[in-house]
Amino acid sequence: MTEDLQERIEKAISGAEVVVAGEGNRFEIRVVSGEFEGLSRVKRQQAVYAAIADLIASGAVHAVTIRALTPDEAG
């Protein structure tokens, strides 16, 4: 499941560096992308959620913690 989440997010957000950790249906996702420049934290998270919305709706993914950062914020 972690690979599926990573692939979906990478396809949805160009140039994203994605790290997914977790097991079962609970995951932590870290996404670094220049596309997040100028976006609020909420808008960034919405972009990530949109890529995996069907998995959340189906229950395959139950709990998600998202850190969505710009390259400068990531260091």
Collapse the DSSP code of 67 into the 3-class scheme (helix H, G, I; strand E, B; otherwise coil) and give the result. Answer: strand
pLDDT digit string, tens, across residues 5-15: 999 999 999 99
Which CATH number is 18's domain given?
Answer: 3.30.300.90
Provide the residue range defining the domain that includes 31: 2-74
Work out the average pLDDT over 39-51. 98
Q: How many domains does the chain have?
A: 1
Q: Please report which confidence band the pLDDT of residue 39 belongs to, taking 50, 70 and 90 as the band edges.
A: very high
pTM of the model: 0.93
State what percent of residues in the chain have pLDDT above 90.
Answer: 100
Query: Sheet of 26-32: strands edge to edge?
Result: 17-23, 26-32, 63-69
**Considering the chain, what percentage of its residues have pLDDT values greater than 70?**
100
